[in-house]
Structure formats: structure tokens, C-alpha cells
Structure 1
Amino acid sequence: MIDKKIWHEKLHRHIGQYFLIDKMLYKEKNKYHDIKIFYNTVMGKIMTIDDIVQTTEKDEFIYHEMLTHVPIFSHGFIKDVLIIGGGDGGVLREICKHKNVNNITMVEIDMSIINLCKKYFPSHSNGAYDDSRLQLIIDDGLNFIKNTNKKFDLIISDCTDPVGSGKSLFFSDFYLNCQKNLKKNGIFVAQNGTSFFQKNEIISTYKNLTKYFHDTTFYQATIPTYYGGTMMFAWGSDNIELRLIDLKKLKSRIKKTKLIFNYYNPQIHISSFYLPQYIINTLDKS
């Protein structure tokens, strides 16, 4: 019999990871999600949704810095941002650091996620929900993007894995509507799972994004929490020059902001687009 104090992730059928629950802090199943929040000595507070790790106190900064700063510094002139998902507030926190951003629209399907993360993960948002530039909308991400008349310089899909309520944010219809609602030179990015164990998701995303964007690829970061190690981020834009920014220009843009990071830096930015050969081979065959 499995020790009740051990939590096992259920993302993969035949392989996975476990965490020792030192203290269960919250547990509830609502109409959208099965949510658990517990404390682990190594990773701090951990939130799981539908028995899949979403975020931890210990290494969240890697995920949120890479999902946010790579597109913002690649573009250089981001004014209007849309976040789809991201209820833990980490992406919002990082965007709010950029003073040149004028408007932030955030669409989250489940208000309880926001409230729970404010309570149990306050450093994730770090007061960002009080930023005057934020418009918070409680809605399904696909429904919003299909019906909005707003245009954005950057759309970030910070969604769960393609199960349950997050499944619709991996379909062709979602990517089509994101492309339609980007301004000229706009960028779309999204979390896309770990490369080694979720190749099928990478293939599916690549096929769908290439229908609507001239420049489609992935970039990566090593994040311990997500089983498989290397997290992939999808990238879509109609201007390939944004992704091919040179190191000198990138350093200049970052220096002007005077921002301090824990993971992201100019060299990490450039190198994150260099993919392992097995991923390149997979995409070439798709």
C-alpha cells in the first residue's frame, strides 16, 4: 500500500515522479480542477492541478522569467500584453517589471486559483494583481480570444497541460484566433511540456502553429519540477528577425531596464532557441 504522505504525479502513464507531503495545506475538487497544495521540505509549497505539478516555490522563477522576458526583449517595444491562464501570478509579476508595458489583460478561467495563490504563494504575484495596468477577466481563454476585438503585441498562454479545461488551448482554433489578435510584429508564446516525454504535443503544436505563423519554433529551459527536465516553450511570429536578435542589441535592451534576474540573461536567451537534435529530427519529420 502506498504511503498516504507520498504524492505521485499522473501526467505520464508508465513513468513519473513523487513528492513527500510534509504538510497538506489545501485540497478541493471544483468544476474546473482537482487542486492540491502541500508543503515539501525541498521544493517548498507545491500546487498540483488534476494530479499534475503546476508550480513550486523553489524553482518557479525559471519558468516565469523565460516565458516572459524572452518574447519581451526579443520584440523590444511591447505595449499591450495578453496572458491566458497564469492564475498563480508569476508571469504577471514579471511583466509588471517592464515599465514600458501600457496594458495587461489577463484571462483566467478559475478565480479560485488566483485567490489560492494569493494566499499560499504570495511571492508569485508579489502584489502584481494591484497594478493599475491590469484588466483581470474571468473567462475561458478560447472563448475570450475568439470574441475580443483587442489587439496585442504579445500573447502568453500560461496554461495547464492539455487535459481537462486546458485542452482547448492546444487546438488549431486557439492558435488561429491568437494570430488574428496580434498586432504587426506580435509574438505568441506558450508552455509546451517537456521535450523528452511529450514529443506528440510538440509535433501537434508545431503543425498547428505553422498554419498561422511564418516563424514557428520552440525555445527551452531546464526546470527541475517538471518531470523530464527540459521544458519547451512554443514560439509563433510573422517576423523572424525578432527571434534572430543579435547578442549586442539584446544586451543593450536589457541594460536599459536595469532589471535583475535569477535565471534569465542574454546568453541564456540566445542559446534557448538552439534545440537538441532529436527535437529537430522530430520536427523535420512532422
Structure 2
Amino acid sequence: MASLGRHIIVEYYDCAPEALNDVTHIEKSMEGAAEEAGATIINSTFHHFSPYGVSGVVVIEESHLAIHTWPEYGYASVDLFTCGESVDPWVSYQFLKEAFKAAHGSAVELKRGELALLTKKDFDIQQLRDEKSTDAGEPIRTRDIWFTERDDKIALSMKHNGKLYDQQSDYQRVEVYETQAYGNMLTLDGMVMTTEKDEYVYHEMITHVPILTHPNPKRVLIIGGGDGGTAREVLKHTELEEVVMVEIDEKVIEACKLHLPSIASALDDPRLNLIVDDGIKYVNEASDGSFDVVIVDSTDPVGPAEGLFSVDFYKEVYRILSTDGIMITQSESPRFNNKVFKEIYQVYRSIFGMDKVHCYLAYIPTYPTGMWSFSYSTKGSAHPLNGFDPAKSQAFSESNALSYYNGQIHAAAFALPNFVKQMIDQ
């Protein structure tokens, strides 16, 4: 042996894009490539980046295997570095070529650590052991696999144990991850929608604020909300006579029933009229003044939700509201999506009136910046604070064992930071 290690620099071309964007598949493939070559795995760490791309490394006792993928080009770059003669990196090369369905690949092998240039040193090996090693000095195998939602300025990463659901619907990529910190997590096209641990903040605040301030709510329409959390909270108001929910993507409903049952618990409730259809179409066809509260529980203004952020749609919502009707929407993060946040309030005020549109805030750890906003737009005399009964809201919160909403939170949510006020009033 003339060198300490063999380093193969690999490029794979015309790979299957879905394979290169599946972090779990890549983790299993990289670990399989290491084991097939005879390596001993110590640790693996992988990150999936939204909307696409995976980076990761498998640390082996004999060195490492590292990867970064560009699914949009069907391209993957891989480093295979092995020490000694016991592991053959070319076995790993062939294994990964098949795993990624590469049309062709190229590789260059380098010798690392030329023995003729090295002098062996003496040292006490016992001083180098740490908590990642057994008493005998053998490595302890660990595993890290991460989901990362990012743009060019910020990112959110969550460690998970793999995917529980992964389907491409007619509208978007629907995935559920088993995260270690937030329980099962729903993502759509790589964006976090909801998690088991913090979902109650969003769902309680988008529902109880309008229903508890409407003078006599009887009919509620939910647009979107396929995870079921908004419907679950709405149905806690037993005085309601009709609750209609229109969700365009049945795959979202399926995924949440299977893997987020605590959120989707109301989707089979006989009191809920669940319609799988286009919410825009439903609103356009609904009768004038047919609903007291309309909750637009949409994703960000991309993909299937893009039409829910149009002036024409909100005019139609205004039309179908009753005399004292209230429209509630999620209105993005004032810290993160500044442009859309400002535009939303300009549009609502042009339809409902300057003094009829109100912003309120809640704090959701897994949404960009943690600060999230909701809009409260009223057609008639309803108001989020004037005439608000904190004792009634507090009693409702306690009787339903709510986790976030209460009378004090309701009032406090409308106390806006100065920078948010300035953005809305510009």
C-alpha cells in the first residue's frame, strides 16, 4: 500500500429527479453503498432543502461518503474516501449509480496520504476517546437526518426519523415527516404546513377569534384547511347550524387522516359538510349572504393557493357574507413576507373599508420567523374588540381545554408592534 487512502470524486448525470430529492432514499442509498463496499458506518447526517436538493455525509470507520444533489438537473456530486485496503470505493460507485438511476457517471480516483512523505507518530490512544466511543474504543453508530425549509436569507431545520407519506397530487407534493421535536409534520411542496406539537396555535386563533365576536354565528365556510384542524376547532361551537369545508386536494386529507389523526379528528364528523373541490369555484357559485363567517385557511400565495390571494376572490367572499359577516384569513408573516403582507391589507381595505379590517398576531415556532398574522375583515357591525366579552371567551377556553386561545390572548393579539402598524398604514 503506497498511500493511506483512496479518494474517488464522482459525478452522476441524468438521474431520476425524484430520487435526488428524496432525503430518506438518499440516506438509505448512501448507507447501503457504504455497507456493500464493506465499510463500518459510524454516523450519517442528511439535510433536505426546500424546494429541492439534498446534502449529506456518511462517516465510516474508514473515512466518509459525501453527496450533494441538484434534482432540477438530474445531477449528483459524490465523494467516496476510504482508508486502507478493506473497502472498495468502486463498489459504492456502482451501487449509487443504480440507486439514483443515473444514465451515466464519471469518476476520478486520487491517492491520498502518500506513505513516502509521512512519518508515523506515537501517541496515547486512550486520551482521544470520547462519549461517542465504547469503553473498548469502538465507535458508536449515530444517525441524523434533517428537513430544511429555506430561502436565500433564512432557514428552518428539523431532525426527523424519515417520511411517513409522500405523494404527488394533481396540485402539489404532499409529505408527512416524523420529526423528533414537533411530532408528525405536514409539508406541501417542501413548505411546513402544520405539526402535531404547535398546530393548536394556528387553528385556535383562526377560528375562535371570529366566532366569539360575531353577534349570532350560524353558518361557517372553511376554504382549504385540509389538515382538519380548523374544522375541529370550529365544531367546538355547538350553536352553529352549518359548517362547510371545501378543500381542493384529497391527498392532503388522506395524509392527515393517516398520520395526523389528532388534527384531522373532525374530518369524519357528521356535522361537517366536507367537499373536495376548488374553493374559488365554490365561493363564486354560493348565494349572496349565505355565510356568517368565512375562514380562508390557505397556504402561501403559490401553487393551488395562488388564486386565493386575488382581488376578485375576496370580492366574491364579501358578496357571500351575511350582513354582519366576518372574513378571516392567514395573512403571512410581517417579518418574512413583507410585500405580500402589505398588499393583503391594501386589498382587504379596498373591499371592506379602512376601518373594517384588523390585523392580529400569534406565535408559531415552525412558521418563518415565528411571528404570524391573521386578518379580521368585517362586513357589518362585528368588531374584534368593541363589545368583546372576555369572560365568555375565557369560559369557552376553559371548558374546551384550549392550549393557546383565551380571553386575555384574544385582546392582546390585536395589540400590534409599531413596525406592523406602520406596514399596514403605508
TM-score range for the pair, normalised by the shorter chain length: over 0.9
**The residue matched to 1:212 in structure 2 has which SS?**
helix
Query: In the alignment, which of 240, 253, 267 is matched to residue 129 of structure 1?
Result: 267
Tell me how far 1:138 sits from its aligned partner.
Answer: 1.4
1:262 alignment partner in structure 2: 403
Shifted more, 238-247 versus 139-148: the winner is: 238-247
1:26 alignment partner in structure 2: 165
1:199 alignment partner in structure 2: 338
Tell me how far 1:244 sits from its aligned partner.
Answer: 2.2
The answer (yes or no) to whether the contact 1:161–1:193 under 8 Å persists in 2 is yes
1:176-195 residue pairs with structure 2 within 5 A? 176-195=315-334
1:276 is the counterpart of 2:329: no
Give the residue type in structure 1 aligned to 2:351: Y
CA distance in 1, matches of 2:243, 2:202: 19
Q: Which has the larger radius of gyration?
A: 2
Give the residue type in structure 2 aligned to 1:103: E
Shifted more, 12-21 versus 69-78: the winner is: 12-21
CA distance in 2, matches of 1:17, 1:129: 29
The CA deviation string for residues 44-91 of structure 1, in whole angstroms up to 9 with x for no partner, is 101110111000000001110000101111114211000000010000
1:225 is the counterpart of 2:366: yes
Query: In the alignment, which of 214, 217, 232 is matched to residue 93 of structure 1?
Result: 232
1:144 alignment partner in structure 2: 282
The answer (yes or no) to whether the contact 1:218–1:233 under 8 Å persists in 2 is yes
Query: In the alignment, which of 148, 153, 162 is matched to residue 8 of structure 1?
Result: 148
CA distance in 1, matches of 2:245, 2:340: 24
Tell me how far 1:28 sits from its aligned partner.
Answer: 2.1
TM-score of the superposition, structure 1-length normalised? Answer: 0.93
CA distance in 1, matches of 2:247, 2:321: 19
1:110 is the counterpart of 2:249: yes
Tell me how far 1:246 sits from its aligned partner.
Answer: 4.5
1:40 alignment partner in structure 2: 179
TM-score of the superposition, structure 2-length normalised? Answer: 0.63
CA distance in 2, matches of 1:102, 1:145: 19
**The residue matched to 2:359 in structure 1 has which SS?**
strand
Give the residue type in structure 1 aligned to 2:415: Y
Give the residue type in structure 1 aligned to 2:383: L
Structure 2 spans left out of the alignment, 5+ residues? 1-53, 58-144
The CA deviation string for residues 126-146 of structure 1, in whole angstroms up to 9 with x for no partner, is 2x1232322111111111111
The answer (yes or no) to whether the contact 2:203–2:230 under 8 Å persists in 1 is yes
The answer (yes or no) to whether the contact 1:195–1:228 under 8 Å persists in 2 is no
CA distance in 2, matches of 1:122, 1:86: 14
**The residue matched to 2:246 in structure 1 has which SS?**
strand
CA distance in 2, matches of 1:22, 1:164: 28
The answer (yes or no) to whether the contact 2:332–2:340 under 8 Å persists in 1 is yes
Tell me how far 1:34 sits from its aligned partner.
Answer: 1.0
Give the residue type in structure 1 aligned to 2:368: Y
Query: In the alignment, which of 217, 240, 248 is matched to residue 78 of structure 1?
Result: 217
The answer (yes or no) to whether the contact 1:220–1:230 under 8 Å persists in 2 is yes
CA distance in 1, matches of 2:351, 2:211: 21
CA distance in 2, matches of 1:74, 1:174: 24
1:168–1:256 Cα change, 3 Å: closer
Structure 1 spans left out of the alignment, 5+ residues? none
Query: In the alignment, which of 295, 312, 318 is matched to residue 156 of structure 1?
Result: 295
1:237 alignment partner in structure 2: 378
CA distance in 2, matches of 1:203, 1:240: 25
Give the residue type in structure 2 aligned to 1:2: S
The answer (yes or no) to whether the contact 2:174–2:255 under 8 Å persists in 1 is no
1:45-60 residue pairs with structure 2 within 5 A? 45-60=184-199
1:171 is the counterpart of 2:305: no
Tell me how far 1:253 sits from its aligned partner.
Answer: 5.2
The answer (yes or no) to whether the contact 1:80–1:154 under 8 Å persists in 2 is yes
Compute the RMSD of aligned alpha carbons. Answer: 1.7
1:246–1:270 Cα change, 3 Å: farther
The higher relative CO (CA closer than 8 Å, separation ≥ 6) is in 1
Shifted more, 26-35 versus 92-101: the winner is: 26-35
Shifted more, 213-222 versus 254-263: the winner is: 254-263
CA distance in 2, matches of 1:225, 1:200: 21
The answer (yes or no) to whether the contact 1:73–1:254 under 8 Å persists in 2 is no
2:392 alignment partner in structure 1: 252
The answer (yes or no) to whether the contact 2:227–2:264 under 8 Å persists in 1 is yes
Number of equivalent positions: 282
Shifted more, 26-35 versus 170-179: the winner is: 26-35
CA distance in 1, matches of 2:56, 2:372: 29
Tell me how far 1:3 sits from its aligned partner.
Answer: 2.4
Tell me how far 1:239 sits from its aligned partner.
Answer: 3.5
1:241–1:135 Cα change, 3 Å: closer
Bigger strand share: 2
Identical aligned pairs, as a percentage?
35
